[in-house]
Amino acid sequence: MTGHSDLQRFIAESEKLCEPANTVVCDGSDAEYERLIQTQLDNGSLLALNQKTHPHCYLHRSNPNDVARIEKLTFICSAKQEDAGPTNQWLAPDEAKRRAREFFSGSMRGRTMYVVPYLMGAAGSPFAKAGVEITDSPYVAASMRIMTRMGNVARDHIAQHGDFTPGLHSTADVNPERRLILHFPDEDLIWSVGSGYGGNALLGKKCHALRLASVHARNEGWLAEHMLILGLESPAGETTYIAAAFPSACGKTNLAMLVPPAEYKGWKIWTVGDDIAWLRIGSDGRLWAVNPEAGFFGVAPGTSERTNPNALASIRANTIFTNVAVTPGGEPWWEGLTEKPPEKLTDWQGRAWTPASMDRAAHPNSRFTAPARQCPSISPRWQDPQGVPIGAILFGGRRASVEPLCYEALSWNHGVFLGATLGSETTAAAAGKTGILRRDPMAMLPFCGYNMADYFRHWVELGTKIPKPPKIFRVDWFHKDEQGKYVWPGFSQNIRVLQWIVEQVQGQRNASESPLGLVPSPGALNLDGLKLSKAQLEELFFVDRAHWRSAEVPMTREFFDRFGAKMPAELYAELEALNKRMA
């Protein structure tokens, strides 16, 4: 949609369909944020946490049937099913609207309709894109104020530049039977009904900045990716920027905020983004990345002073927690925050909890919503309108075996292959069984707005257009031994792998050939001060050739075959080459 009159029409049509009691156009001011919070405190949908220890922090408990993204109710509604591809759910646009209209119809009766203009990208950045989310949820409006540049800044942008992506959202009756998350790439439109949770409801995030943006990106020659962005500064003061794609709940926020261990004196990680990257070829021939978001919607469980002190510092104030537990003193708590749980808690559903309780106190997908500017490691360039130049792209999954700790692609197309073949065990970030191995190409399986074979082709073609491409790597922090314990210490120790990667980018040839790609030469990975046995190190880099030939290669071929004739020949060629190297 373009300009003021389209916006007025979008508001009028939404009012007619949803029949709200009144309409509020959000300006993004502090006073308005306070009002949004107060409304929820008054109706009990937000609880104030301890305002001494956690000023301006609140807890939201979502409906227990609405605690994660719901992939089976998420659809790409392109005119042709082929354009959605075999990995997306598809509905014809008319049919999708017919079904959803019924759920939207009168859904805002007695409620306020909030019109939320927002920007993805910093104001003034040539890459910023505007959206307008219409929602009946003050939780969503308040969360959008944290996660995006919301209000007048976006309205001004629309007045100046015209285009915006409309999104209509209603929590309606939060009924899974009457829930749909719909994307209309041909008219650049989002409809989401029946859920108030995260990626289902904060439409700027996964719906706009990934699913619809990925379609724009293909048409315009850039990339919209599920990637963190960080800068690694060496003791010499040189900073190398890295973008990394890991599936949901597989370590992006943690890596983006890494605090170097004591042995890494003089090293520093700068956080640019923790979930989404928009990447473009710059005039200097390198790939440049911006973080389109303004906040973090991070996984709470596992976050602690030991694992991610920067996240803890970021969520001390002005944070909305969702589905965490609360201590008797009104402080938020989740599994992993402290070594021992407190003697008494209120769990994520508001029930009394003790360590003897069978259930977890916080939901496994409980989250915090916090402003990015509060992160101690936030990069001075995080809002740079041009972004930062990317030296390396990482693809990583959660696999207990098979994948080495780290290796480098032999070429751009081999790197695309490493992204396209990413496999990972499912997590609590999406509804459904966890721990199931599935293909999650580029960590974009749930977020690519078009046929993934065309997406792979776009990646291959982009490689021919980047004069100075980043190097591509695969990593896996999640090896488990026979007892089910993680072999690699992970978290802050992941900097050891980043150091090797940066050295590779800088042209040091500290790598040896393996059938999978380039692995660190003996001694190239800095392991000083780590308690890692020789056997453990060997396990981390062991390649079971017979298993690759008999299981991984055929599994990959089967996956590629699902895309039929659209699948780029370049990726089949990489698969054949891999098979040969495994001989």
Catalytic residue numbers, as ranges: 250
CA distance 326 to 50: 10
DSSP state of 521: P
Q: Within 20-62, where are the H helices?
A: 30-43
Angstrom CA distances, 37 to 33, 40, 90, 472, stand at 6, 5, 37, 44
Tell me the two tokens of residue 303.
């976050």
246 binds ligand SPV (CB under 6 A): no
| Residue 320 interface partner, choices Mn ion, ligand GTP, ligand SPV, none, CB cut-off 5-8 Å depending on type | none
Q: Which of 275, 347, 476, 570 binds Mn ion (CB under 5 A)?
A: 275
Q: Which of 302, 371, 397, 449 binds ligand GTP (CB under 6 A)?
A: 302
Question: Which residues have a Cβ under 8 Å from the Cβ of 534 and sit 6 or more positions away?
Answer: none
How many of the other CB atoms lie within 10 Å of CB of 52? 9
β-strand partners of 63:
none
Applying CB under 6 A, the site for ligand SPV has a residue count of 9
Q: How far is the CB of 536 from ligand GTP (least distance, A)?
A: 14
330 binds ligand GTP (CB under 6 A): no
Walk across the sheet containing 58-60 and list its strands. 47-48, 58-60, 320-322, 367-371, 295-299
Q: How far is the CB of 69 from Mn ion (least distance, A)?
A: 9
Residue with tokens 């659209």: 566
Q: How far is the CB of 110 from ligand GTP (least distance, A)?
A: 34
Q: How far is the CB of 50 from ligand GTP (least distance, A)?
A: 24
Residue with tokens 């896996």: 476
Angstrom CA distances, 468 to 32, 127, 218, 346, 457, stand at 46, 21, 20, 53, 19
**CA atoms in the 13 A half-sphere facing the CB of 100:** 28
Where does this chain touch Mn ion (CB under 5 A) — which range of 107-115, 134-142, 240-248, 567-575?
240-248
> Are the C-beta atoms of 427 and 301 separated by less than 8 Å?
no
Of 92 and 400, CB closest to ligand GTP:
400
199 binds ligand SPV (CB under 6 A): yes
Q: Collapsing DSSP states into helix, strand and coil, what is residue 12?
A: helix
> Are the C-beta atoms of 466 and 285 separated by less than 8 Å?
yes
The residue among 437, 577, 433 whose CA lies nearest residue 516 is 577
Where does this chain touch ligand SPV (CB under 6 A) — which range of 168-176, 199-207, 450-458, 490-498?
199-207
198 binds ligand SPV (CB under 6 A): yes
How many of the other CB atoms lie within 10 Å of CB of 244? 26
495 binds ligand GTP (CB under 6 A): no
Dihedral of CA 132/133/135/138: which sign? negative
Task: Tell me which residues in 147-166 interact with ligand SPV (CB under 6 A).
Answer: none
CA distance 328 to 333: 10
Of 424 and 499, CB closest to ligand SPV:
424
HEC assignment per residue over 105-116: CCCCCCCEEEEE
Where does this chain touch ligand SPV (CB under 6 A) — which range of 187-195, 198-206, 337-345, 555-563?
198-206
Of 447 and 500, CB closest to Mn ion:
447
Where does this chain touch ligand GTP (CB under 6 A) — which range of 145-153, 252-260, 348-356, 536-544?
252-260
| Residue 494 interface partner, choices ligand SPV, Mn ion, ligand GTP, none, CB cut-off 5-8 Å depending on type | ligand GTP
Where does this chain touch ligand GTP (CB under 6 A) — which range of 15-23, 183-191, 243-251, 389-397?
243-251
Q: What angle separates helix 3-18 from helix 152-161, to the nearest 10 degrees?
A: 130
CA distance 335 to 448: 32
Where does this chain touch Mn ion (CB under 5 A) — which range of 34-42, 235-243, 272-280, 303-311?
272-280
| Residue 199 interface partner, choices ligand SPV, ligand GTP, Mn ion, none, CB cut-off 5-8 Å depending on type | ligand SPV
Q: How far is the CB of 365 from ligand GTP (least distance, A)?
A: 8
Q: Which of 104, 118, 264, 491 binds ligand GTP (CB under 6 A)?
A: 491
CA distance 495 to 455: 30
How many of the other CB atoms lie within 10 Å of CB of 439? 19
Angstrom CA distances, 127 to 83, 124, 267, 447, stand at 25, 8, 30, 20
250 binds ligand GTP (CB under 6 A): yes
Of 14 and 248, CB closest to ligand GTP:
248
293 binds Mn ion (CB under 5 A): no
Q: How far is the CB of 275 from Mn ion (least distance, A)?
A: 4
The number of residues making up the chain comes to 583
E strand or H helix at 227? strand 227-233
429 binds ligand SPV (CB under 6 A): yes
Q: How far is the CB of 248 from ligand SPV (least distance, A)?
A: 3
Of 192 and 307, CB closest to ligand GTP:
307
Task: Tell me which residues in 52-81 interact with ligand SPV (CB under 6 A).
Answer: 69
Applying CB under 5 A, the site for Mn ion has a residue count of 2
> Are the C-beta atoms of 274 and 257 separated by less than 8 Å?
yes
Using CB atoms, what's the residue nearest to ligand SPV? 199
Task: Tell me which residues in 418-447 interact with ligand GTP (CB under 6 A).
Answer: 429
Footprint on this chain of ligand GTP (rule: CB under 6 A): 246, 248-254, 274-275, 298-299, 301-302, 307, 429, 477-478, 486, 490-491, 494
Q: Which residues bind Mn ion (CB under 5 A)?
A: 248, 275
What are the residues binding ligand SPV (CB under 6 A)? 69, 198-199, 205-206, 248, 275, 297, 429
